[in-house]
């Protein structure tokens, strides 16, 4: 069995277009939530009744400027954004592929989703329709599908930076990023590949926002994770990439070692998580059992904490099930107030932030929390200011529609006196 | 790799519901294609293999409200679990991996979102959600999508997870329904056979794998799920074991054109090498190959070239069934694996392909008189640089 380490990170988020900026934004309490009606890529979208107009959006054209004209002509802006994070992760790791086998795991809740102005520009015939209507079949051609297929991202990465041995484009909805890391871990551990590039992404679309508004998951009040007065959240968009390598072949000093993973599915309801938190807790228990860690040995938990009534209830109870009475001694935080709930990228961004926390020995604060909801359990939610902590082992969580959950247990590289 | 048992098969195809309907349909050698409804096509009239309306029971409210994609996947998965007589317990030991070339098309969503109250069914992985809720499958769940070899990849990935001891079982398969966006994209890339409905009435086969006159595939709807189990646990509970997954491999190669494979097929070649290595056998020990050939002009010839190089010495039979079933795209690998299992399980002969034609070396087309042998290789070559392979072994 191979040991698996995290050697490179890449991120583009509403609060920073690289990992360093993203993390300094988290430490300083920056928020990327804006009124999306003013965003140039919304193409004059008219808000529906009850729709919340706020979202965490990426800086316009953030990644495209990094690429030469020929790549900008070849790929759409969203593919280039994902490619930019992949390149950042590989560069960060100083990755030299040589003859090593690599897996590319690209997870996204809904895949690529071209902005309305791009659709109108690329497919002029589409322009006569409002964004609500289904275009007639004769407006489709093969380029139309390229704009939507996640495999376009894989082709871009395969062509531009990694000659991969295998590639899996997939969706596990909002735990896509976490599952990309889990699958990469399993493939390296079993010796199938030597390295894995795990990517989680999702882009904002106003129709997606409408769906979430319809389910009354969104609210225009600030996101308050695990707060007694939480009312809902706003969506966001982000892209995150993580390079995992076998400990034997990893080049530079890694961020952390992945020591255990757990994935579970509630099997409860299409939208509502199991309020008992039992299946979510099962994912955490599985990860800790594999890591041979006791819950009270954790130094931090990177929660999702999206600020929804039912979501936080399930997650809070799951954590309370895991930690029991020691809950108040394990610090936790949530980055959703900073960048919005980023769907398929959420568990990936959680993980990336945790890697930076381990590297810098500091936990970022959770914004907007006024009074922690004690009905969920006793928690030590990092608030107000960043908190310096020596992180030796920690857990990164993820949870999604249809009840998918992930938990990834990590260990700081120098905690057992080994060569990592 | 430690072999993994296949203990359950659930299949819904244009021939109807269940493995028997599929087996009998393939045995007749007559495809069951029908004209695409006029409102749904773009490039002139065409054919497709439609799932008969009677094949899908109504089910409870959760299933009845779902779209055809999710319903089709659910009922096949449900049948696989029943077929295996598998006791799922609390469900955490069973993973769920589905595959589809496009899932429930995002392109179509823009229209279907008009009915916002059903929006939760529009995600690609809604099929997984419904299976998880109804069948209490509570392990890892993922939906591989957006390329054609996904169900073969999914079976490989699930086998690896079981062989590594991570899960005791996995429900894995593929599902594909007609989507005008999907079909129009393949048609505009000239992958779909332009055979029109008049020609179909003459009895000319719509899909002609490896034939000089081949001109593309005909899409078929379908869903096929398998239940994979740890071999020792399956034997311990005296489960009926259809066959074993002994090896798998998958490779992505850079593709200049998103709808055309490379000339050399080096990705497929590597996938086959990985598969044989993991299974611990050599090419000469492979008795039969179920190829992904679907009548595409370039893909068939590249695949044949790769296979004839790999099996230049061995007496290996090359066969396929897509000329009868149709091209089920993302579900194709699961259908191949299911048909391999049915061939292991039942006395019968492989379908006849390219009657009378010869290949140089040890490879020969099945003439309708061969049986499947003990080691069967499934190859799956997608249009987007993806390829995958599986090695199935008789129990």
Residues A318-336 have pLDDT tens digits of: 999 999 877 788 999 999 9
> Is B235 strand, coil or helix?
helix
Q: Say which DSSP state B151 is in.
A: H
The reply to whether residue A110 touches residue B106, judged by beta carbons under 8 angstroms, is yes
Q: Give, in order, the Cα–Cα distances in Å from A313 to each of A316, B15, B86, B388.
A: 5, 47, 33, 42
pLDDT value at residue B41: 62
Rounded percentage of chain A residues whose pLDDT exceeds 90: 69
Contacts with B258 from chain A: Cβ below 8 Å: 142, 146, 149, 151-152, 155
Mark yes or no for CB contact B113/A211 under 8 Å: yes
- Shortest alpha-carbon distance between residue B107 and chain A (Å): 8
- Enumerate residues 125 to 154 of chain A having a beta carbon within 8 A of any beta carbon in chain B: 131-135, 137-138, 140-142, 144-146, 148-152, 154
Q: Answer yes or no: do A169 and B144 touch at CB < 8 A.
A: yes
CB contact under 8 A, A167 and B119: no
In A, which residues are within 8 Å of B390 by CB distance? Answer: none
- Mutation pick from B138, B178, B388 vs chain A, by most beta carbons of A within 10 Å, is B138
How far apart, in Å, are the Cα atoms of B200 and each of A161, B14, B47, B203, B326? 46, 16, 8, 6, 14
User: Per mean pLDDT, which of A41-50, A219-228, B45-54, B116-125 is the most reliable?
Assistant: A219-228
Q: Do domains B4-243 and B247-393 have the same CATH topology?
A: yes
CA distance linking residue B302 with residue B54, whole number of Å: 39
> Max Cα separation, chain B?
59
Q: What is the CATH number of domain B247-393?
A: 3.40.47.10
Note the pLDDT of residue A234: 97
In sequence order, which residues have a C-beta less than 8 Å from that of residue A246 and are 6 or more positions away? A2, A3, A4, A5, A188, A194, A195
Which residues of B are less than 8 Å from A134 in CB distance? 108, 110-112
| Residue A128 confidence (pLDDT) above 60 | no
A351 φ, ψ (degrees, to nearest 5): -65, -45
Residue B100 predicted with pLDDT over 60: yes
Could you say which residues from 298 to 337 on chain A have a Cβ atom under 8 Å away from some Cβ of chain B? none
Residue B216 touches partner A, C-beta closer than 8 Å: no
Residues of B with Cβ-Cβ distance to A284 under 8 angstroms: none
Interface probe, candidates A78, A102, A140, A203, chain B, greatest B C-beta count within 10 A: A140
- Asked if A187 has any chain B CB less than 8 Å from its own CB, the reply is yes
Q: Is A165 in Cβ contact with B116 (below 8 Å)?
A: no
> Does residue A151 carry a pLDDT above 90?
no
Model confidence over B260-300: pLDDT tens digits? 788 889 999 999 999 999 999 999 999 999 999 999 999 99
Closest CA to A275 of A321, A229, A243, A230: A321
Separation of alpha carbons A224 and A230, rounded Å: 5
In this prediction, residues A169-181 reach a mean pLDDT of 95
Is there a contact between A265 and B137 if contact means CB atoms under 8 Å apart? yes
* Angle made by CA atoms B48, B54, B59, in degrees to the nearest 5: 120
The answer for A 35-94 residues in CB contact with B (under 8 A) is: none
Domains annotated for chain A, with CATH where assigned, are 4-113+148-411 (3.40.47.10)
Under 8 Å CB pairs connecting chains A and B tally to: 211
Say if the Cβ atoms of B62 and A270 lie within 8 Å: yes
Token pair in block for residue B370: 């061969």
So what's the pLDDT on residue B12?
A: 97
Count each helix (H run) and each strand (E run) in chain A, helices first.
12, 16
Q: Measured between CA atoms, how close is A147 to chain B, in angstroms?
A: 10
* Closest Cβ–Cβ partner in B144, B166, B258 for A168: B144
Looking at the complex, report in whole angstroms how far the Cα of residue A270 sits from the nearest Cα belonging to chain B: 6
Distance from CA of B176 to the nearest CA of A (A): 15
Q: Is the pLDDT of residue B248 over 90?
A: yes
Give the domain ranges of chain B: 4-243, 247-393
What is the predicted pLDDT for the residue at B195? 65
Q: Testing the interface with B: which of A105, A119, A166 to mutate, by most B Cβ within 10 A?
A: A166
User: Which chain A residues are within 8 Å of B270, Cβ to Cβ?
Assistant: 165
Q: How far apart are CA A167 and CA B161, in angstroms?
A: 16
For residue A250, pLDDT over 50 is answered with yes
Residues B146-158: tens digit of each pLDDT? 889 999 999 999 9
Instruction: Give the closest of B117, B251, B255 to A165, CB-based.
Output: B251
pLDDT digits (tens, 9 = 90+) for A53-83: 999 999 877 688 899 999 988 888 899 999 9
pLDDT score recorded for residue A135? 47
Between residues B139 and A117, the one the model is more confident about? B139
Q: How many CB atoms lie within 10 A of CB A128?
A: 10
Residues 6+ apart with CB under 8 A from B19: B9, B11, B83, B338, B342
CA torsion through residues A243, A244, A248, A252, sign: positive
Mean pLDDT of B172-189: 83
**Contact call for B103 and A171, based on CB within 8 A:** yes
On chain B, the residues whose CB falls within 8 A of the CB of A282 are 92, 138
Give percent above pLDDT 90 in chain B.
Answer: 64
Residue A191 near residue A99 (C-beta atoms within 8 A) = no
Q: How confident is the model at residue A142 (pLDDT cuts 50, 70, 90)?
A: low
Based on the number of CB atoms within 10 Å of its own CB, is B37 exposed (0-12), middle (13-18) or buried (19 or more)?
A: exposed
- pLDDT category of residue B304 using cuts at 50, 70 and 90: very high
Reading phi first (left if > 0) and then psi (alpha if -120 to 50, else beta), residue A358 is in alpha
- Name chain A contacts of B44, Cβ cutoff 8 Å: none
- Do B147 and A269 make contact, defined as CB atoms within 8 angstroms? no
More confident residue, B122 or B314: B314
Residue pLDDT, tens place only, B102-154: 766 544 544 444 556 666 676 778 899 999 999 999 999 999 998 899 999 99
Strand A102-108 and strand A195-202: the pairing is parallel
Task: Decide: helix, strand or coil at residue B284.
Answer: helix
pLDDT at B191: 85
CATH architecture of B4-243: 3-Layer(aba) Sandwich (3.40)
d(CA A337, CA A320): 22
Q: How far apart are CA B94 and CA B158, in angstroms?
A: 10
Top-ranked range on mean pLDDT: pick from A130-134, A323-327, A415-419, B213-217 = B213-217
Over chain B, what is the mean pLDDT?
89
Residues 73-102 of B with CB under 8 A from A: 91-92, 95-96, 102
pLDDT at A93: 95
Q: Burial, A361: exposed, middle or buried (Cβ in 10 Å; 0-12, 13-18, 19+)?
A: exposed
Nearest to B106 among A148, A266, A269 (CB): A148
When comparing pLDDT for B174 and A130, which is higher?
Answer: B174
| pLDDT tens-digit readout, B315-372 | 899 999 999 999 999 999 999 999 999 999 998 889 889 888 888 888 999 998 889 9
What is the tens place of the pLDDT at every residue in A281-312? 999 999 999 999 999 999 999 999 999 999 99
Grade residue A22 by pLDDT with cuts at 50, 70 and 90: very high
On whether any CB of chain A is under 8 Å from the CB of B111, the answer is yes
Is A99 touching B (CB cutoff 8 A)?
no
User: Does the pLDDT of residue A41 top 70, yes or no?
Assistant: yes
- CB-neighbour burial class of residue A287 (10 A; exposed 0-12, middle 13-18, buried 19+): buried
* Beta-sheet pairing, A256-265 with A404-411: antiparallel
DSSP B208-222: -TT-TT---B-BB-E
Q: What is chain A's mean pLDDT, rounded?
A: 89
Contacting B residues, span 12-41, partner chain A, CB-CB under 8 Å = 40-41
pLDDT at B107: 44
Are B370 and B288 in contact by the 8 Å Cβ rule? The answer is: yes
DSSP E strands, chain B: 4-13, 16-17, 34-35, 47-48, 94-100, 141-145, 169-176, 222-230, 243-252, 288-290, 316-319, 363-365, 375-381, 386-393
Contacts of B251 in chain A (CB under 8 A): 165-166
């Amino acid at each position: 069995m191979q040991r698996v380490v995290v050697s490179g990170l890449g991120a583009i988020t509403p609060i920073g277009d690289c990992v360093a900026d993203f993390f300094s934004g988290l430490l300083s309490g920056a928020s990327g939530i804006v009124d999306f009606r003013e965003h140039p890529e919304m193409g004059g979208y008219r808000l529906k009744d009850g729709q919340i107009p706020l979202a965490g959006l990426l800086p316009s054209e953030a990644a495209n400027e990094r690429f030469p004209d020929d790549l900008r002509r070849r790929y759409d802006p969203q593919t280039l954004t994902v490619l930019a994070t992949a390149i950042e992760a590989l560069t960060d790791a100083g990755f030299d592929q040589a003859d090593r086998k690599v897996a590319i795991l690209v997870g996204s809740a809904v895949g690529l989703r071209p902005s309305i102005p791009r659709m109108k520009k690329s497919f002029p015939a589409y322009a006569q329709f409002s964004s609500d209507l289904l275009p007639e079949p004769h407006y489709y051609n093969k380029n139309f599908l390229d704009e939507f297929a996640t495999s376009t991202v894989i082709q871009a990465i395969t062509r531009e930076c990694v000659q991969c041995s295998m590639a899996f484009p997939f969706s596990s909805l909002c735990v896509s990023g976490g599952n990309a890391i889990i699958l990469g871990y399993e493939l390296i551990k079993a010796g199938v590949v030597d390295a894995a590039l795990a990517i989680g992404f999702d882009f904002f679309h106003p129709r997606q926002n409408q769906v979430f508004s319809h389910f009354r998951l969104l609210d225009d009040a600030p996101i308050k994770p695990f707060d007694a007065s939480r009312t809902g959240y706003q969506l966001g968009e982000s892209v995150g990439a993580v390079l995992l390598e076998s400990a034997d072949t990893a080049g530079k000093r890694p961020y952390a070692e992945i020591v255990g993973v757990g994935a579970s599915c509630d099997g409860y309801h299409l939208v509502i998580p199991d309020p008992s938190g039992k299946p979510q807790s099962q994912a955490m228990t599985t990860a800790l059992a594999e890591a041979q860690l006791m819950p009270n040995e954790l130094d931090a938990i990177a929660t999702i904490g999206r600020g929804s009534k039912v979501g936080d209830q399930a997650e809070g109870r799951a954590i309370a099930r895991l930690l029991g009475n020691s809950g108040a001694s394990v610090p936790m935080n949530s980055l959703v107030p900073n960048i919005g709930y980023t769907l398929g990228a959420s568990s990936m961004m959680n993980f990336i932030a945790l890697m930076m926390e381990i590297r810098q020995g500091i936990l970022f604060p959770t914004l907007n929390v006024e009074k922690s909801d004690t009905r969920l359990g006793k928690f030590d939610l990092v608030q107000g200011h960043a908190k310096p902590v020596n992180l030796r082992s920690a857990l990164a969580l993820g949870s999604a529609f249809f009840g998918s959950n992930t938990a990834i247990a990590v260990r700081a590289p120098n905690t057992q006196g080994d060569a990592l | 790799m430690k072999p993994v048992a296949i203990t359950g098969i659930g299949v819904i195809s244009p021939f109807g519901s269940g493995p028997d309907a599929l087996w009998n349909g393939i045995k007749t050698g007559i495809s069951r294609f029908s004209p695409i409804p006029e409102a749904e096509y773009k490039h002139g009239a065409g054919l497709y293999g439609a799932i008969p309306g009677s094949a899908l029971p109504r089910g409870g409210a959760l299933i009845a409200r779902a779209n055809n994609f999710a319903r089709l996947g659910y009922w096949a998965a449900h049948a696989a679990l029943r077929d295996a007589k598998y006791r799922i317990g609390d469900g955490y030991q069973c993973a769920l991996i589905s595959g589809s070339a496009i899932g429930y098309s995002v392109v179509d969503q823009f229209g279907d979102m008009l009915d916002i109250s059903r929006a939760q069914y529009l995600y690609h992985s809604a099929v997984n959600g419904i299976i998880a809720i109804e069948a209490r499958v509570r392990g890892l769940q993922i939906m591989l999508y957006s390329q054609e070899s996904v169900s073969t990849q999914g079976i490989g990935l699930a086998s690896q997870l079981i062989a590594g001891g991570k899960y005791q079982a996995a429900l894995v398969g593929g599902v594909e329904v007609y989507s005008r966006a999907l079909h129009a994209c393949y048609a505009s890339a000239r992958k779909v056979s332009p055979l029109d409905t008049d020609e179909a009435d003459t009895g000319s086969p719509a899909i002609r794998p490896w034939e000089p006159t081949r001109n593309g595939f005909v899409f078929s709807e379908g869903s096929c799920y398998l239940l994979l189990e740890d071999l020792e646990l399956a034997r311990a509970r005296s489960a009926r074991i259809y066959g074993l997954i002994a090896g798998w491999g998958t490779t992505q190669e850079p593709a200049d054109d998103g709808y055309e494979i490379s000339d050399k097929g080096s990705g497929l070649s590597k996938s086959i090498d990985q598969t044989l290595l993991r299974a611990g056998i050599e090419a000469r020990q492979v008795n039969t190959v179920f190829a992904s050939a679907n009548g595409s002009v370039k893909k068939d010839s590249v695949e044949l070239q790769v296979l004839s190089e790999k099996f230049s010495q061995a007496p290996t039979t090359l066969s396929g069934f897509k000329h009868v079933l149709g091209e089920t795209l993302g579900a194709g690998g699961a259908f191949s694996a299911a048909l391999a299992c049915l061939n292991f399980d039942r006395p019968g002969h492989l379908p006849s392909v390219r009657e009378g034609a010869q290949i140089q070396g040890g490879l020969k087309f099945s003439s309708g008189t061969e049986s499947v042998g003990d080691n069967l290789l499934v190859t799956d070559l997608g249009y987007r640089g993806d390829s995958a392979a599986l090695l199935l072994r008789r129990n």
